[in-house]
Amino acid sequence: MSTESDDRLFWDAAAEDFDDEPDHGLRDPRVRAAWAVRLRSWLPGGPSDVLDLGCGTGSLALLAAEQGHRVTAVDRSPRMARLARRKLAGTAARVVVGDASRPPVRPGGFDTVLVRHVLWTLPDPVAALRHWARLLRPGGRLVLVEGRWGASDPVGLTADALTGLAAPLGGVIHVEQLGSDRALWGRQVEDERYVAVVRPAAAAPPASRRRHTEIVDVHLLVLRGGDVLLTRRANTGYADGLLHVPSGHLEDGEDVRSGMIREAYEEVGLDLAPQDLEAVLVMQHRAPDGGARIGWFFLTRLAGGTEPVNREPDKCSELAWYPLAALPDDMVAYCRAGLNAYRAGHRFLLHLHQSGDDIAHDPAGPDRAVPLAPPAVPGSLI
């Protein structure tokens, strides 16, 4: 991987060409207009303090300044800084020479840290992200434009990789794919290009720093031999048409075992006693829209003669048995992740969707499941 120093040497050597290239210099009015629209959606609505790191010739800094923001632009190359000052002449923007990973600015002074095509060049991107978060005011955000380029020898960061690097900051990460918008690049591109807007937990506004609360729900693995009972959701407005295990939210004052007993009877007519249930998995789950919950997965084993019934036909279109070792694909993603984790012997799991994920299980999609403890012995659970 190259370093920011290597990258700056390249841009120094090709500064004039760089400034004329529509992908970077934004000289094409149509490309410039497309970036102006996107930038307006990523930055705060009113005038704010924006720090543009690795600013190059100052193209994005100029767009932000033209939108009324107070801009500080930083680049480690003196030549690039001179070009940026020339481009930003007539605005109130300030351009300084400095290292993007440790810019010469005071902590807590900015509403947005804007970084384009720089993070992937840094030797310690996690440390850079951590430092950039400290430059933000409460309520601030990081706007990170990155990508993964080149077919034979690709460089850069995928969106999944950047999300993983930013995860220790906590808070909320929103990824917006940009590659399909040819107006931004002046041509059709085939590689991955995106922006990640990160609102670190440490930069949350004081009013939002309340005790963390989440919905608690319960899920029942009904096993009969090697098969598991799945129900198909219908008419609920969430995940309709997808398979799920019997489940529901806790009611006020319920403990998780009592809630599971209630839900088992209400949904599939099973009259269970506390000793019929075994807690097998606890999962923290985040939906694609950012909603969070804690899921408790319980297991019960049916003896011969006991048959579940559909007691909520208005919410469930069918009950069916499926091999636990060969689950169907048309399932709610976090339910499928829970069953896979149980089969693998895991007891504690994170399953955190990113913005843009589907709530349905995608066999070809990213695996959002992160075990939090070593597994028990697989194979002894079925």
Ordered alpha helix ranges (H), 88-175? 125-134, 159-166
Of the three residues 207, 232, 258, the one that is the final residue of a domain is 207
**Within a domain: 120:** yes
Task: Indicate whether 199 and 50 sit together in one domain.
Answer: yes
Three-state SS string over 158-210 comes to CHHHHHHHHHHHCCEEEEEECCCCHHHCCCCCCCEEEEEEEECHHHCCHHHCC
User: Bridge partners of 173?
Assistant: 198
Q: How many domains does the chain have?
A: 2
Task: Indicate whether 201 and 302 sit together in one domain.
Answer: no
* pLDDT of the residue at 25: 55
Domain that holds residue 284: 215-371
What contacts 157, CB < 8 A, 6 or more positions away? 119, 120, 125, 146, 147, 148, 165
Q: If you count them, how many residues does the chain have? A: 382
CATH of the domain at 46: 3.40.50.150
Which residue in 223, 221, 226 sits closest to 246, CA to CA? 221
Q: What is the pLDDT along the chain (382 residues), one digit of tens a residue?
A: 334 433 333 333 333 333 333 345 577 889 999 999 999 999 998 899 999 999 999 999 999 999 999 999 999 999 999 999 999 999 999 999 999 999 999 899 999 999 999 999 999 999 999 999 999 998 899 999 999 988 778 899 999 999 999 988 888 899 999 998 889 888 888 889 999 999 998 776 655 555 667 889 999 999 998 999 999 998 888 888 999 999 999 888 889 999 999 999 999 999 999 999 999 999 999 888 777 899 999 999 997 667 899 999 998 999 999 999 999 999 999 999 999 999 999 999 999 888 778 889 988 888 889 998 888 765 444 4
Task: Indicate whether 257 and 191 sit together in one domain.
Answer: no
**Within a domain: 198:** yes
- Measured distance CA(36)–CA(25) in Å, rounded: 13
C-alpha torsion sign, points 27, 28, 33, 39: negative
**Within a domain: 379:** no
Task: Indicate whether 102 and 190 sit together in one domain.
Answer: yes
Task: Indicate whether 106 and 220 sit together in one domain.
Answer: no
- Joined together, the tokens standing for residue 368 give 């959002």
The label of the residue with tokens 């070593």 reads 374
* pLDDT of the residue at 3: 41
> Contact, 119 vs 129, CB < 8 A?
yes
**Within a domain: 277:** yes
**Within a domain: 57:** yes
Task: Indicate whether 310 and 260 sit together in one domain.
Answer: yes
Task: Indicate whether 103 and 238 sit together in one domain.
Answer: no
Task: Indicate whether 265 and 316 sit together in one domain.
Answer: yes
Task: Indicate whether 245 and 188 sit together in one domain.
Answer: no
* pLDDT of the residue at 117: 93
The label of the residue with tokens 């807590």 reads 108
CATH of the domain at 287: 3.90.79.10
Task: Indicate whether 132 and 179 sit together in one domain.
Answer: yes
Using a 10 angstrom Cβ sphere, with 0-12 exposed, 13-18 middle and 19 or more buried, the burial of residue 212 is exposed
Give the gyration radius of the chain's Cα atoms.
Answer: 26
pTM of the full predicted structure? 0.54
* pLDDT of the residue at 53: 96
Task: Indicate whether 277 and 189 sit together in one domain.
Answer: no
**Within a domain: 377:** no
DSSP 258-297: HHHHHHHHHHH-----GGG-EEEEEEEEE-TTS-EEEEEE
Helix (H, G, I), strand (E, B) or coil at 336: helix
- Measured distance CA(3)–CA(123) in Å, rounded: 6
Task: Indicate whether 127 and 250 sit together in one domain.
Answer: no
Of the three residues 153, 182, 207, the one that is the final residue of a domain is 207
User: Bridge partners of 33?
Assistant: none
- Measured distance CA(367)–CA(362) in Å, rounded: 9
- Joined together, the tokens standing for residue 241 give 């048409």
**Within a domain: 147:** yes
Between the alpha carbon of residue 94 and those of residues 61, 69, 72, 370, the distances in Å are 10, 12, 5, 43
**Within a domain: 128:** yes
- Measured distance CA(103)–CA(97) in Å, rounded: 8
